[in-house]
Amino acid sequence: MLNVTRLRILRELHLRGTLAQVADALSYSPSAISQQLSLLEREVGVRLLEHVGRRVRLTDDAVTLVGHTELVLAQLELAEAELAATQPEVSGTLRVASFQTVLLEIAPPALTLLNLRYPSLQVEITQRAVDEAFSGLLAHDFDLILGEEYPDLPDPVRAGTDRADLVRDPLFLAVPSHGAWARQPDRIADLADAPWALDPPGTASGDWARAMCRGAGFEPRVRMEGPDPLLHAQMVRTGHAVAFVPALIAAEHLAGAQLAALTGNPERILYTSVRAGRGGHPAVVAFREVLARVAAERRPDTPRRRLQAR
């Protein structure tokens, strides 16, 4: 019978690319990783690795074996979930990766509620961008991650994962309440000359914001570019930029700024993802339920002002 630990090492090499990265992830030495992979080759009786310069690459047979390993690991996680469901209380450690908006507004009250309801459940949270979080999820670095999907930029469910939508978070326009840009625009196009605070290109939020500006007929003049929503909010509050902001941020961090609802009521979707086979684990179920309750309670009212379509 094939050794599951060695199969997982092969899978890690497929995901991470180098023996050094696998060794670091699994807390082994590179020589121990090489030894385990050599033993696996003897077990299966086929060549699994080939050298390309100083690196190694998986053979076609190895990639086939990784596919079977995915099924084995998913089945083992399903068994763990079923066994955990028979226990009298939710316990253990849940490793979570999330981006900043959720960490700011949802995670703290969610942890407070979890401590009250499930005192034996420990939650460890790491801040990661969505793509990096997905890589960590599939590599078993995390048990659950939080992601976001913006309008007209669908985020497909990754193979081997289980996604559950958490909440729809409206997107607003925020302008300063004082200074040169303290206007009450009727349309986004009225801000063609304004300085903007935007997320970087290549991110869902950054690409969506630029598409909104281009749809209004202009290329945004970016004064501040970065992934920090609190810095965006500070630029608006201090009169130095305008920005698109999610409602969860606007509720707590844009006091004094002017908010306007956007035409069509665009929303981003916040969701959670776990590996397939782990969606029924009691720790995952408990965390998802608490997140959903907190997110629903923190939804703000829609601004009275609404921008015109043109």
> Residue 106 sits in a domain of what CATH number?
3.40.190.10
Q: What is the pLDDT of residue 272?
A: 95
Q: What is the pLDDT of residue 300?
A: 64
Same domain flag for 154 and 286:
yes
Query: Residue 308: inside a domain, yes or no?
Result: no
Query: Residue 147: inside a domain, yes or no?
Result: yes
pLDDT band, residue 104 (cuts 50/70/90): confident
Q: What is the pLDDT of residue 98?
A: 92
Average pLDDT, the chain: 89
CB 61 within 8 Å of CB 46: yes
Which whole number is the average pLDDT over 23-42?
86
Same domain flag for 109 and 234:
no
- Higher pLDDT, residue 105 or 291: 291
**6-15 residues labelled b (16+ CB within 10 A) or e (exposed):** bbbbbbbbbb
pLDDT tens-digit series, residues 183-203: 888 999 999 999 999 999 999
- Higher pLDDT, residue 47 or 307: 47
d(CA 261, CA 303): 6
Which whole number is the average pLDDT over 295-303?
74
Q: What is the pLDDT of residue 282?
A: 96
pLDDT band, residue 301 (cuts 50/70/90): low
Same domain flag for 130 and 278:
yes
| Number of other CB atoms surrounding residue 94 within 10 Å | 21
Domain boundary (34, 52, 83) is at: 83
Domain total in the chain: 3
What's 35's domain CATH number? 1.10.10.10
Domain boundary (83, 107, 127) is at: 83
Q: What is the pLDDT of residue 176?
A: 94
Q: What is the pLDDT of residue 29?
A: 86
Domain containing 103 equals: 89-166+269-297
Query: Residue 306: inside a domain, yes or no?
Result: no
Same domain flag for 286 and 144:
yes
Which whole number is the average pLDDT over 284-303?
85
Name the residue among 35, 7, 5 with its Cα closest to residue 19: 35
d(CA 41, CA 28): 19
DSSP conformation class of 262 = P
Which whole number is the average pLDDT over 17-29?
84
pLDDT tens-digit series, residues 1-14: 788 889 888 898 89
Over 90: is that where the pLDDT of 129 sits?
no
Query: Residue 307: inside a domain, yes or no?
Result: no
Joined tokens for residue 247: 């409602």
Share of the chain above pLDDT 70, in %: 97
| Number of other CB atoms surrounding residue 296 within 10 Å | 10
Name the residue among 137, 254, 133, 130 with its Cα closest to residue 199: 130
d(CA 269, CA 144): 16
Which whole number is the average pLDDT over 304-310?
64
Same domain flag for 243 and 186:
yes
Which whole number is the average pLDDT over 159-175?
91
Same domain flag for 242 and 95:
no
pLDDT tens-digit series, residues 51-79: 887 788 888 988 999 999 888 888 888 89
pLDDT band, residue 309 (cuts 50/70/90): low
- Higher pLDDT, residue 144 or 54: 144
Which whole number is the average pLDDT over 167-195?
92
Domain boundary (83, 108, 124) is at: 83
Over 80: is that where the pLDDT of 299 sits?
no
